[in-house]
């Protein structure tokens, strides 16, 4: 049987009428799709469109309420990952399912041998892994610990896990979200080899460019329903985007920047590590009326920089200058006093307190100000009014200021944070991953507000792992690698590939950490 | 002072150290298995009490010594099943459940003891395991008698360490147990049931803890009395941390702690009451805290320890 995907190619997978409800929410509504041998189908949709749920049903993590799955003509028993594996389905999850303090080999052979045997069969396994690695461009040393691997290598281990089990259908859930542009290219090359060998791939993504680059066919989900299906070669980018969003795509216009004086400056600042890389003598300036974008692969010091600016991490050397004056004791309180608006990286962990109300959350940075408290007693009326103002001004969908924040969607939670951070027109705005996990509409909204803040003269630092976002918004781009900064580049000066190289550490010579 | 130093070279000191270490080895291996699978088992103290009693009582009623060990192990496994059921599929707090298991197992044991033996004033005795000298090996000076003139249960303790290490690093089931304590979704994604692996590990671990308890009534002593476990379970939990969750290092920790304990008893005798004896009693604990601070700060613990896993959770 040949590997091309003409109309006569064999159908390897068929989902019919899959419906899944979580309480009142219908995550998948009667979705049907099929996959042919040697075909790459992209599953396109926004966050919350039901892509991941659908694939989790296919893989047996969830049980569908209705519908049926057929693999190679046989019905798959629902809710049984073992059966899915045995039928030849391999899944690469968005959040890797690897045991960190074990070797690559151990992770791969896990579950491939009968549990009660006295032998791991390590040497045979090692040979097979090496062979697969060479065949498909997935080089990784089988005897290294997962903790020692880069994110790209970890993903290769995930793919190897599936191939080791002779998977014929590979599902990749947002595989490029964590990769550098180079790693993404390598992944696409691997996928091409897999398809040539007769495997079929489902590629889940919300990035149109990638979908067009790798797939043969695109299936679009929206709000849990099948929104449409197109041959990739016959579909335009605009058409796919509109299918995904269900209407016109919001477009932000960003005018040229008119930078003013420097509002916030770091001079040769070093910090200790905060999980990822520590900052090493970095210098940077944030100027009013300008968005400075900080690109970089996760874990290269972004967390330390954000914490430093917010005042939660102390520097071990160097100076922090605010409005040209040296800040002697930089603490979270001092940062707020000096007019820092802060959008934290993880809205659930550090941005909001899920079990407290909207009103309590919006005053959490300012509850001591006379506006919200007098003689040590909180003024709940003022807090509720403030919350109501934000809800109105930022179009937050929430029942009342008394509602618990946990019940809000990611986008609405982010709007609340935005409202809290931008209240009182702060001069300096720290936006860490401000649009992570938001749908296109909410992303456009957040971007618009950041541009607005820039245009009224605020200095904005945008820390993001999404290069598209960095390139769209930033007037000036810095790249962070192992705690050091690249030279700044202006909007449009560097291509995605050039930025990718900086992110991977090429061109970061020693002197380059002093970004003017 | 010289005298204090010479103790370290006497065979009797090391014999005592290994004897004191044996129940700790069982208990530490048991706890280590549970924790490696991601389940903290604070039921250990009570499970050891239950094992000490059930093993001893089996022999007291006329059972074979090894039957006693088996009964102790099964008793432990049953409490392990309870702990596993509450913490794994139900996902209850491992701390609270573990303390509950300890209280339940210990109280139930004392209650059963009173019901079954209401008339006794002094604890009844059994014929315990006797030392068995391994030919040739036991003739090595100092270390020979210490390591190889012990009861069969001590030999079983050595074997347990080797077996745990072998299973962990050389067999599929061991890889599964370690993986389930690191990242349960890695195990689920490979088609293995997280619940089954975790409950199985907790049952096996609890069985070992119970054998540790039974060592006290069937090998170190010959009767059961209240309070005889006396915190050994808690020490085992510290030893697991001391050993960075590795069987070999944990074994060394257990022997080290036991050696401190044996040493302080002998020091008490030679100082002849100049220093209050409580200082000596305290010594092994103080030293183990110091050792813990030094050794365990950089230990890498199982990532999913104490985190319940719920399949299909959003």
Cβ-Cβ pairs closer than 8 A, A with B, add up to 88
Cβ-defined contact of B178 to A85 (cutoff 8 Å): no
Closest-approach residue (CA) in chain A for B299? A101
Q: Mean pLDDT across chain A, nearest whole number?
A: 88
What's the rounded mean pLDDT across residues A339-346?
89
A472 strand-pairing partners: none
**How do beta strands A200-205 and A40-44 pair?**
parallel
SS (H, E, C) B203-239: HHHHHHHHHHHHHHHHHHCCCCCCCCCCCHHHHHHHH
Q: What's the half-sphere exposure (Cβ side, CA atoms, 13 Å) at A428?
A: 21
Share of chain B above pLDDT 90, in %: 69
Selecting from 3.40.1310.30, 3.30.230.30, 3.40.1010.10, 3.40.50.300, what CATH number does the domain A11-245 have?
3.40.50.300
Which tens digits make up the pLDDT trace of A164-204?
Answer: 999 999 999 888 877 878 888 899 999 999 999 999 999 99
ipTM over 0.85: yes
Return residues 154-193 of B near A (CB < 8 Å).
170-173, 175-176, 178-179, 182-183, 185-192
Same CATH topology for A11-245 and A260-339+427-516? yes
Which residues of chain B are within 8 Å of residue A99 when distances are taken between CB atoms? 178-179, 182-183, 186-187, 303
Q: Which residues of B touch A164 (CB under 8 A)?
A: none
Where residue A448 falls (left for φ over 0; alpha for ψ -120 to 50; beta otherwise) is alpha
Say which residue the tokens 């995904």 belong to. A244
Q: Half-sphere exposure of A226 toward its Cβ, with a 13 Å CA cutoff?
A: 17
Residue that wins the pLDDT comparison between A408 and A69: A69
Q: Please check whether residue B140 is in contact with residue B116, taking contact to mean a CB–CB distance below 8 angstroms.
A: no
Provide the residue ranges of all domains of chain B, joining segments of one domain with +: 2-117+147-296
User: Which of 94-133 (B) contact A at CB < 8 A?
Assistant: none
CA dihedral angle for residue A235, residue A238, residue A243, residue A248, rounded to 10 degrees: -160
Lowest mean pLDDT across A401-415, A496-510, B146-160, B251-265: A496-510
* Side-by-side strand order, sheet with A74-75: A25-36, A11-22, A66-71, A74-75
**pLDDT tens digit string along B75-118?**
999 999 999 999 999 999 999 999 999 999 999 999 999 999 88
Query: How many whole angstroms separate alpha carbon B26 and alpha carbon B47?
Result: 12
User: Residue A176 to residues A180, A264, B244, B250: CA-CA distances in angstroms?
Assistant: 8, 34, 36, 42
**Model confidence pLDDT, tens digit, residues A9-50:** 789 999 999 999 887 778 899 999 999 999 999 999 887 788
| Closest to A87 in 3D by CA, of A75, A102, A104 | A75
Pick from A485, A483, A475, A424: which is nearest to A454 by CA? Answer: A475
Asked if A414 and A433 touch (Cβ cutoff 8 Å), the reply is: no
Q: Is the pLDDT of residue A511 over 60?
A: no
Residue A308: CA atoms inside 13 Å, Cβ hemisphere, count?
33
Residue A490, strand partner residues: A476
CA distance B84 to B239: 22
Q: Which two tokens stand for residue A63?
A: 């049980």
Nearest to A98 among B172, B186, B191 (CB): B186
Beta strands in A298-357 (DSSP E): 315-322, 325-326, 340-343
Whether A89 has its CB under 8 Å from any CB of chain B: the answer is no
Q: What is the pTM of this model?
A: 0.81
A123 interface with B at CB cutoff 8 Å: no
Rg value, chain A, Cα: 25
CB distance from A119 to chain B under 8 Å?
yes
Beta bridge partners of A34: A14
Residue in this structure with the two tokens 């459940």, named with its chain if needed: B97
The CATH number of B2-117+147-296 is which of 3.40.50, 1.20.272, 1.10.1200, 1.10.3470? Answer: 1.10.3470
Q: Tell whether A441 is within 8 A of chain B (Cβ).
A: no
**Which residues in B lie closer than 8 A to residue A84 (C-beta atoms)?**
191
Instruction: Give per-residue pLDDT as tens, A50-86.
Output: 888 898 899 888 899 999 999 999 999 988 888 999 9
Chain A partners of B300 at a C-beta cutoff of 8 Å? 101
Decide if A115 and B176 are in contact by the 8 Å CB cutoff. yes
Helix axes B172-182, B11-36, angle to 10 degrees: 70
DSSP H helices in A268-379: 302-310, 332-337, 358-362
Domain residue ranges of chain A, discontinuous segments joined by +: 11-245, 260-339+427-516, 349-425
Residue of B nearest to A80 (CA): B191
Q: Give CATH for domain A260-339+427-516.
A: 3.40.50.300
């Amino acid at each position: 049987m040949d590997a091309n995907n003409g109309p006569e190619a064999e159908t390897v997978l068929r989902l019919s009428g899959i419906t899944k409800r979580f309480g009142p929410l219908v995550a998948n509504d009667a979705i049907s799709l099929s996959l042919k041998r040697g075909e790459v189908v992209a599953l396109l949709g926004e966050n919350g469109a039901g892509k991941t749920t659908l694939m989790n049903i296919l893989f047996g993590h969830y049980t569908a309420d209705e519908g049926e799955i057929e693999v190679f003509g046989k019905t798959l028993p629902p809710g049984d990952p073992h059966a899915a594996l045995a039928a030849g389905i391999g899944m690469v999850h968005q959040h890797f399912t690897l045991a960190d303090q074990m070797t690559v080999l151990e992770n791969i052979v896990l579950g491939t041998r009968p549990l009660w045997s006295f032998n791991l069969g390590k040497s045979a396994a090692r040979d097979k892994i090496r062979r697969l690695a060479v065949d498909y461009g997935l080089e990784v040393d089988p005897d290294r610990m997962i903790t020692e691997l880069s994110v790209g290598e970890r993903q290769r281990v995930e793919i190897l896990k599936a191939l080791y089990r002779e998977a014929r259908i590979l599902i990749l859930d947002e595989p490029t979200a964590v990769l550098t542009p180079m790693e993404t290219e390598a992944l696409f090359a691997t996928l091409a080899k897999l398809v040539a060998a007769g495997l079929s791939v489902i590629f889940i993504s919300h990035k149109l460019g990638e979908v067009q680059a790798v797939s043969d066919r695109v299936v679009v989900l929206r709000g849990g329903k099948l929104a449409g299906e197109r041959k990739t070669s016959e579909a335009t980018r605009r058409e796919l985007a509109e299918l995904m969003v269900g209407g016109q795509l919001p477009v932000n216009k960003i005018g040229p920047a008119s930078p003013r004086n420097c509002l916030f400056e770091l001079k040769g600042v070093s910090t200790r590590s905060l999980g990822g890389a520590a900052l090493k003598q970095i210098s940077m300036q944030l100027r009013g009326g300008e968005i400075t974008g900080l690109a970089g692969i996760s874990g290269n010091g972004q967390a330390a920089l954000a914490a430093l600016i917010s005042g939660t991490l102390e520097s071990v050397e160097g100076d922090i200058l605010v409005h040209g004056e040296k800040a002697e004791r930089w603490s979270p309180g001092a940062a707020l006093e000096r007019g820092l608006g802060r959008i934290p990286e993880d809205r659930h962990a550090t941005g909001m307190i899920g079990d407290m109300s909207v009103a309590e959350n919006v005053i959490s940075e300012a509850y001591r100000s006379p506006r919200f408290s007098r003689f040590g007693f909180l003024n709940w009326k003022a807090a509720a009014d403030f919350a109501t103002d934000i809800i109105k001004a930022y179009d937050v969908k929430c029942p009342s200021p008394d509602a618990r924040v946990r019940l809000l969607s990611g986008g609405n939670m982010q709007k609340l944070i935005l409202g809290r951070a931008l209240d009182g027109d702060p001069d300096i705005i720290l936006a860490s991953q401000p649009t992570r996990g938001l749908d296109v509409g909410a992303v456009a909204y957040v971007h618009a507000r950041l541009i607005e803040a820039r245009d009224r003269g605020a200095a904005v630092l945008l820390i993001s792992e999404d290069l598209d976002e960095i390139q769209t918004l930033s007037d000036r781009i810095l790249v962070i690698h192992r705690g050091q900064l690249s030279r700044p580049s202006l909007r449009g000066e560097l291509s995605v590939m050039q930025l990718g190289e900086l992110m991977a550490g090429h061109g970061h010579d020693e002197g380059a950490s002093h970004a003017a | 002072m010289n005298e204090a130093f010479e103790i370290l070279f006497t065979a009797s000191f090391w014999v005592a150290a290994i004897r004191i270490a044996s129940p700790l080895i069982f208990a530490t291996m048991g706890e280590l298995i549970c924790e490696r699978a991601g389940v903290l088992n604070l039921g250990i103290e009570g499970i050891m009490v239950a094992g000490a009693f059930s093993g001893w009582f089996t022999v007291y009623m006329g059972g074979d010594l090894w039957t006693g060990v088996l009964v102790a192990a099964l008793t432990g496994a049953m409490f392990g099943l309870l702990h596993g059921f509450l913490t794994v599929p139900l996902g209850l707090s491992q701390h609270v459940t573990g303390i509950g298991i300890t209280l339940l197992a210990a109280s139930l044991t004392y209650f059963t003891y009173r019901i079954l033996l209401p008339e006794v004033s002094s604890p009844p005795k059994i014929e315990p395991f006797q030392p068995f000298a391994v030919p040739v090996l036991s003739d090595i000076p100092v270390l020979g008698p210490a390591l190889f003139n012990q009861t069969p249960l001590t030999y079983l303790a050595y074997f347990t360490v080797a077996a745990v290490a072998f299973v962990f690093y050389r067999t599929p089931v061991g890889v599964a147990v370690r993986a389930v304590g690191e990242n349960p979704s890695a195990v689920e994604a490979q088609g293995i049931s997280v619940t089954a692996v975790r409950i199985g590990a907790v049952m096996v671990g609890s069985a070992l803890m119970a054998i540790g308890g039974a060592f006290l009534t069937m090998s170190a002593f010959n009767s059961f009395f209240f309070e005889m476990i006396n915190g050994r379970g808690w020490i085992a939990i510290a030893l697991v941390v001391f050993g960075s969750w590795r069987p070999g290092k944990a074994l060394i920790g257990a022997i080290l702690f036991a050696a401190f304990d044996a040493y302080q008893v002998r020091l008490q005798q030679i100082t002849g009451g100049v220093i209050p004896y409580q200082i000596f009693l305290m010594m092994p604990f103080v030293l183990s805290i110091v050792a813990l601070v030094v050794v365990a700060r950089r230990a890498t613990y199982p990532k999913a320890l104490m985190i319940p896993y719920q399949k299909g959770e959003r």
